[in-house]
Structure 1
Amino acid sequence: MIAPLSYRFRALRTRNFRLFAAGQIVSVAGTWMMVVAQDWLVLGLTGDSAVALGTVTALQFTPMLFTLYGGRLADSRDKRTLLTVANLVSAVLALVLSLMVFADAVALWHIHLFALGVGLVNAVEVPARLAFISELVAPSVVPNASAMSAAYFNVARVLGPALAGLLLTAFGIGWVMLVNALSYLATVAGLRLMRPAELLRAPREEGRARVVDGLRYTLDRPDLAVPMALVAVIGLVGLNFQLTLPLLAKTVFHTGASSFGLLTTVFAAGSLLGALATSGRSGRPSARLVTGAGIGFGLLEAAVGWAPAPSAAVVLLFLTGLATIYFAQAANHRIQLGSDPRYRGRVLALYTLVMQGSTPLGALCVGWLSERWGARAGFVVGGVLSLTAGLVALVVDREGRRPAGRAAEHTPAREDVRP
């Protein structure tokens, strides 16, 4: 049964979440504009080097290895304050890089430093943002709020690259980066306009919150560890679109900046549909649903690599975008809704680490692979390995047929067994 429209958007009834979503949609749109501009700048500085683009991507995601400490901060500090500071620092970094572009003084090593700086900020911001959602809405609305977060994120991914393509053509890279710097202020404004008394503060663990306790808690829960492992593999080999998409556009289909923006927009439009498809969820997804979504993603990504023309790539990228978010949301909901609130920041930090922290190695490997065998190889190999990981998880996941470690310590949300 299809959920009523008002039910799919029920998280937006909460004022604090509306403020959060409004600020995020502006900020994330600016971030995706920055991604397009940065990729185009790197390719222009290096003569379309896949290795150079992979190196920048790797540098941006390497600091995500410190995400576990960001999760510890999220469990022991005020998340609203953490997010405010993180967004202000990101704004300053983007402003400095944009001024260097305007001055025609930017070099590749400047972009390397910027990527590292953004990565360090994200190591704190991402787990705090994911855990903060559960403080914005009632527990029964958390799945919908998470789906809405993915939806506005992908609305921004649709708007951002499309606007970036237009601004790049009309004004140049510097203006795109300046708009991104200003966009962070929307998130800061939304955070500061919230009513703190209406936040549902998560209980904090007695004593000092330790990273190792979060790791031990996750490993003792096979129903959390198996989807976490699947996310790690797919994040490593499959989710390198920041690298593979511009290479596909420029080196395979030989398109310009606006057409690259179109491919990215189509991918994001599919992601948006995937987010909306999960917005009616009210319970915890089953293990079978998570692994099935991973298998579907692998098949579609591999198919993109064989696309004979831009028109076929557009259709396949739309479907791949849908599968990407559907899998990510299913895994996120299974992990988040099955974890004790006292450990949620650290568990979601581990989720962020395995989802994004594997990107540096993945970006370098895919960059090397694409340099030797072409951009199509990055899609095909990533898709095949993701498919294989999903099949392995399907075989080894026995969580539904036997007790799961310490699962009795925390009663998760109702399982969602819909196909």
Structure 2
Amino acid sequence: MPETPNSTSDTSHRLGVLRHRNFALFWFSLVFSHSGTWMQLTVVGWLVFDMTNSPAWLGVVGASRAAPMIVLPFFGGVIADRMDRRLLLWITQSGQALLGLTLALLVATDLVLVWHIIVVMFLGAIIEAVDQPTRQAIVPLLVPRIDLRKAIALHAVVFSGGALVGPAVAGLLAPAVGLATVLFINVASFVPVFIALPLLHLPRFEPRQHEPVLTSVKDGLHFAFTRELIVVVILVSAVGSLFGRSYQLLAPVFAREVLLTDITGLGWLASAPGLGAVLGAFAIASARWLPANGRLTGFSVAGYLLALVGFAISNNFGLSVLLLVLVGLLNTVFSAAVRTMLQLEAPEQYYGRVMSLNTITFIGLAPLGSLIIGAIAELAGIQLATLIGATVVAIVFSFAWLTQPALRNAS
């Protein structure tokens, strides 16, 4: 029998959310796919920094993903609310695989230039603007409502958790088999998603009459921005992404200029937040009790900033890796709390549009943040630039926490 959000579940069972067949199929296939994506991101970061020796150019490449991921996800959310979400995922995942193949061929034939990488990243972001809200909107259909926070926690980790395996494997394989082979492995990593999608038991998609797209966008924005909690959560998430999450995209600078390591060391640095993300997600998924979501955001942001400051001033490779594990863990806790608050605040017909705002803040603004922090790093160095960013996040979040009871008291 297909699982529905109204079915019963053994919530006392450790990691019970993965006992739901639909969610397990979906989750494991995405972990494979995003591990490959992180292999590609690791290769791209190293390649761009090797070609340009410039933190600012790394920021530009990262920012090439920003415009589509800021402007388009809300339209992607509208599409996710009015089309068969399984079909949408077929389309988006196929598009990402084709772009990955194009990049692999360019590197294999030694024709790749920085502008090629920028174009591939830009087009990939356009596809991701539809893919992200669609994946987030499908999660409530895969588990009972009582398990939603656990499912969101594990789903939140599929991208950052892919960093647990992808960068380390890329760093180990690249010196042995070359950058192009690593990129071809990324293309193959999409296969599990194509296997899993037809196996999901989902409610039958029923086409409904919809208002025009722009009307739907306006309605969704009106709903979101008349809900105090949604506005505050989106604001603090946006500032966090702009000023506090550039450590991943700018990791090649830390690797070469601060920690004096090679692409293998970069792989371990990029994998460390992924390990933390996995630990954080499974901690939430297995916990018998957690603080209310509002308080959980406060605890996680405070710990996250302390770990990020420690990483920024560290010149020891081992300590830096450990601190990034902690950064990844606390970022995942924060992300799960935010997504849960948003989805519990929105009725089903608004899931795609509301979660598209989450996509904009967590994924769209982070590349733009890398451009900001990268530009500062060009002038003041990557360590000071990271400290400046952490300070901005601390000031804004503290103000929101002290002045907005909707955030502090969110359930």
Structure 1 length as normaliser, TM-score?
0.89
Query: 2: distance between equivalents of 1:204 and 1:398?
Result: 38
* 1:382 aligns to 2:389 (yes or no): yes
Per mean C-alpha deviation after superposition, the further-off stretch among 12-21 and 336-345 is 12-21
Give the equivalent residue in structure 2 for 1:53.
58
* 1:256 aligns to 2:259 (yes or no): no
Shift of 1:264: 1.5
Give the equivalent residue in structure 2 for 1:90.
96
* 1:247 aligns to 2:253 (yes or no): yes
Query: 1: distance between equivalents of 2:55 and 2:337?
Result: 32
Shift of 1:283: 8.7
Query: 1: distance between equivalents of 2:275 and 2:308?
Result: 16
Q: Structure 1 residues 85, 285: closer, same or farther in 2, change over 3 A? A: farther
Structure 2 residue aligned with 1:319, among 296, 307, 326? 326
Give the equivalent residue in structure 2 for 1:228.
234
Per mean C-alpha deviation after superposition, the further-off stretch among 75-84 and 208-217 is 208-217
Query: 1: distance between equivalents of 2:158 and 2:64?
Result: 26
CA offsets 1:168-192 (integer angstroms, 9 cap, x no match): 1111110111111111122122112
Query: 1: distance between equivalents of 2:407 and 2:356?
Result: 25
* Count of aligned positions: 398
1:278 match: secondary structure: helix
* 1:188 aligns to 2:213 (yes or no): no
| Residue type of the alignment partner of 1:368 | A
Give the equivalent residue in structure 2 for 1:412.
none
CA offsets 1:352-397 (integer angstroms, 9 cap, x no match): 1122222343121111111111111232112111111220111121
| Residue type of the alignment partner of 1:286 | N
Q: Is the 8 A contact 1:12 1:18 kept in 2?
A: yes
Structure 1, unpaired ranges of 5+: 403-414
* 1:343 aligns to 2:350 (yes or no): yes
1:10-409 alignment to 2 at 5 Å? 10-46=16-52, 48-64=53-69, 65-196=71-202, 199=203, 207-208=211-212, 210-279=216-285, 280=287, 285-399=292-406
| Residue type of the alignment partner of 1:169 | P
Q: Is the 8 A contact 2:100 2:183 kept in 1?
A: yes
Query: 2: distance between equivalents of 1:242 and 1:393?
Result: 26
Q: Structure 1 residues 309, 66: closer, same or farther in 2, change over 3 A? A: same
| Residue type of the alignment partner of 1:383 | A
Q: Is the 8 A contact 1:33 1:160 kept in 2?
A: yes
1:241 match: secondary structure: coil
Q: Structure 1 residues 14, 96: closer, same or farther in 2, change over 3 A? A: same
Shift of 1:207: 4.0
| Residue type of the alignment partner of 1:16 | N
Query: 2: distance between equivalents of 1:282 and 1:100?
Result: 50
Query: 2: distance between equivalents of 1:15 and 1:7?
Result: 15
Give the equivalent residue in structure 2 for 1:405.
none
1:195 match: secondary structure: coil
Per mean C-alpha deviation after superposition, the further-off stretch among 285-294 and 161-170 is 285-294
Q: Is the 8 A contact 2:59 2:250 kept in 1?
A: no
Q: Is the 8 A contact 2:311 2:320 kept in 1?
A: yes
1:88 match: secondary structure: helix
Q: Is the 8 A contact 1:287 1:397 kept in 2?
A: no
Shift of 1:106: 0.8
1:358 match: secondary structure: helix
Per mean C-alpha deviation after superposition, the further-off stretch among 237-246 and 173-182 is 237-246
Query: 2: distance between equivalents of 1:256 and 1:202?
Result: 52
| Residue type of the alignment partner of 1:184 | F
Structure 2 length as normaliser, TM-score?
0.91
Query: 2: distance between equivalents of 1:401 and 1:179?
Result: 44
Q: Structure 1 residues 284, 130: closer, same or farther in 2, change over 3 A? A: farther
Q: Is the 8 A contact 1:300 1:383 kept in 2?
A: no
Q: Structure 1 residues 304, 389: closer, same or farther in 2, change over 3 A? A: same
Give the equivalent residue in structure 2 for 1:409.
none
| Residue type of the alignment partner of 1:344 | Y
1:243 match: secondary structure: coil
Query: What is the Cα-based RMSD across aligned positions, in Å?
Result: 2.3
CA offsets 1:51-102 (integer angstroms, 9 cap, x no match): 1111000002321121110000011111111111000011011101101111
2:37 match: secondary structure: helix
Shift of 1:288: 2.9
Query: 1: distance between equivalents of 2:154 and 2:185?
Result: 24
CA offsets 1:105-151 (integer angstroms, 9 cap, x no match): 11111111101111101000001011111111222222121122234
